[in-house]
């Protein structure tokens, strides 16, 4: 005999679920790493490449553009000779840091259970 399907008692999610929106952003390859490295302060493109050696320049550029479009990262041209560009977290980007820290703590706990 088949079990009866129960109704979900949680409130109906809004048309675009906020959790899904946030996870779609953080779920992108290298995105948490970029946010993590920018949490220490503004960085230039080359500095981010040194921070994350395995990432390709193309992928880093794509991540930074996506994060800038979402309002997580601010891009500022520094008037030097030659001009350089600095990336920094916006206020919204800074709000992601505690969430990433929590994920890191849970990751450490999960990793210790596997050992």
Q: Is residue 44 part of a domain?
A: yes
pLDDT for 74 = 98
Pick from 17-21, 45-49, 81-85, 89-93: least confident: 17-21
Residues spanned by the domain of 89: 29-114
The CA dihedral of 92, 98, 40, 106, to the nearest 10 degrees, is -140
Q: Is residue 20 part of a domain?
A: no
Q: Is residue 93 part of a domain?
A: yes
pLDDT for 51 = 95
pLDDT, the chain, mean: 91
Q: Is residue 47 part of a domain?
A: yes
- Global confidence as pTM: 0.80
Q: Is residue 5 part of a domain?
A: no
pLDDT for 14 = 66
* Cis peptide bond prior to 101, omega within 30° of 0: no
How many structural domains are present in the chain? Answer: 1
Q: Is residue 1 part of a domain?
A: no
Residue 44's SS3 state is: strand
The two structure tokens encoding residue 31: 């995105």
Q: Is residue 84 part of a domain?
A: yes
Q: Is residue 74 part of a domain?
A: yes
Structure confidence by residue, pLDDT tens digits, 6-38: 888 887 766 777 888 888 888 888 999 999 999
CATH, residue 79: 1.10.10.10
- Is the pLDDT higher at 60 or at 10? 60
């Amino acid at each position: 005999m088949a079990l009866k399907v129960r109704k979900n008692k949680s409130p109906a999610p809004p048309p675009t679920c906020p959790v899904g929106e946030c996870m779609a952003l953080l779920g992108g390859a290298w995105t948490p790493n970029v946010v993590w490295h920018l949490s220490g302060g503004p960085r230039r493109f080359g500095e981010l490449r040194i921070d994350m050696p395995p990432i390709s320049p193309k992928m880093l550029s794509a991540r930074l553009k996506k994060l800038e479009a979402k309002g997580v990262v601010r891009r500022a041209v520094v008037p030097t000779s030659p001009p350089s560009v600095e990336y920094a977290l916006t206020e919204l980007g800074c709000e992601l840091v505690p969430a990433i820290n929590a994920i890191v703590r849970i990751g450490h706990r999960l990793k210790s259970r596997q050992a």
